[in-house]
Chain A
Amino acid sequence: MPTVMTLTLNGESRSFDGPLSVATLLAALGLDTRKVAVERNEAIVPRSRYAQTWLGGGDSLEIVHFIGGG
């Protein structure tokens, strides 16, 4: 039974059909998992656990990558 849940992604509120893992979220967003890192509710999600990490409504995620910097 799909459910709609609201997540906060990089500070923005977005709705998705659940259930949703970090792996399926990144795929839906079109992101290359080798080039990003994910924090869920201020805790790191190890890359090896993306597929088993299920998201819940209200979760807040930071999805980051490397950019130029000094």
Chain B
Amino acid sequence: MDGLLPADDTWTVAGRRFRSRLVVGTGKYKDLQETAAAIAASGAEIVTVAVRRVNLSDPSAPMLQDHVDPKKYTYLPNTAGCHTAKDAVRTLRLAREAGGWNLVKLEVLGPPPTLYPDMPATFEAAEALVKDGFEVMVYCADDPVAAKRLEQMGCVAIMPLGAPIGSGLGIQNAAMIWMLREQTTLPFLVDAGVGTASDAAIAMELGCDAVLLNSAIAHARDPVTMARAMKHAVEAGRLAYLAGRMPRRLGADPSSPLTGLIR
């Protein structure tokens, strides 16, 4: 079922070129086997990963790298769980040392229940990370002023939410996502909010370069099947964007000729 899209339809972030427009998280799965199977089914080339303390009482526990090969997938370390700029910067410096690369996902979150992006803290962290040589893909509010500022600061991808993290509510802000897409020349992804395949297709139809999601696959009843659905939804949405949708009109326009009707 490969080859829906033209072979030259790729996107590039920080000089790295990718064919898959689906970026998936590796969290919330039942076990590492299911994680690996779902990621393979999604066709993703980039996977987000978290940085956490090693369990020192069980140092031989299986590790993510044993199941999701960092040579095969581009690991994109995140700062999930960080609520301050300082913690986010420390986390990504550790990630760089653990993995040896500069491409990272920055997210600095406000408190529950929304976990909405904390933009002042995000600016502070982004500035420090860019200065420290990181290539920062940044999770952000659907705020055109904030997005422009992040672009000017030297971030390499703008990634607004479509709805709160893990909510599965779908793209609640389609008009804003479209406007943000129009104003940036950077790679642009919807990150957070996708609940099912049609949501991912909508994000792509709005012109996103890619979609980032985790829970929509991991919390589906059958994650591997949903991963396949997401792969095709992203491709379908991309094709629809390339095709250019018909204009919306207020009122009907019959599809069959009005001439030659029987009397």
List A residues at the B interface (Cβ < 8 Å). 9-12, 29-31, 35-39, 42, 44-47, 62-70
Contacts and interface: CB of A to CB of B under 8 A. Distances in A.
A65 B75 CA distance: 12
B99 interface: yes
Given A36-B54, A66-B50, A67-B63, 16 more contacts: A29-B56, A30-B59, A37-B97, A63-B53, A65-B51, A66-B63, A66-B64, A67-B26, A67-B51, A68-B27, A68-B35, A68-B49, A69-B27, A69-B52, A70-B26, A70-B165
Contact of A12 (B35, B49, B50, B56): B56
Given A29-B59, A66-B75, A37 B95 contact: yes
B214 interface: yes
B65 interface: yes
3 closest pairs, A vs B, by CB?
Answer: A69-B50, A70-B25, A70-B214
B239 interface: no
Contact of B95 (A9, A45, A66): A66
Contacts of B78: 69-70
A44 B94 contact: yes
Interface string B11-38: 0000000000000011111001001000
A66 B54 contact: no
B60 A30 contact: yes
Interface residues of B, number: 37
A21 B166 CA distance: 42
Interface in B143-170: 165-166
B122 interface: no
B50 A63 contact: no
Given A42-B90, A70-B28, A65 B98 contact: yes
Nearest to B214: A70
Contacts of A63: 53-54, 56
A36 B64 CA distance: 12
A31 B98 CA distance: 13
Interface of B: 25-29, 32, 35, 48-54, 56, 59-60, 63-65, 75, 77-78, 80, 90, 93-95, 97-99, 165-166, 213-215, 218
Contacts of A67: 26-27, 49-52, 63-64
Nearest to B94: A37
B25 A66 contact: no
Contacts of B49: 66-69
Nearest to A66: B49
Contacts of A44: 93-94, 97
Contact of A69 (B26, B65, B97): B26
23 contacts: A9-B56, A12-B56, A35-B63, A37-B51, A38-B97, A39-B94, A46-B97, A64-B52, A65-B52, A66-B49, A66-B51, A67-B52, A67-B64, A68-B26, A68-B27, A69-B48, A69-B49, A69-B51, A69-B52, A70-B78, A70-B80, A70-B165, A70-B218
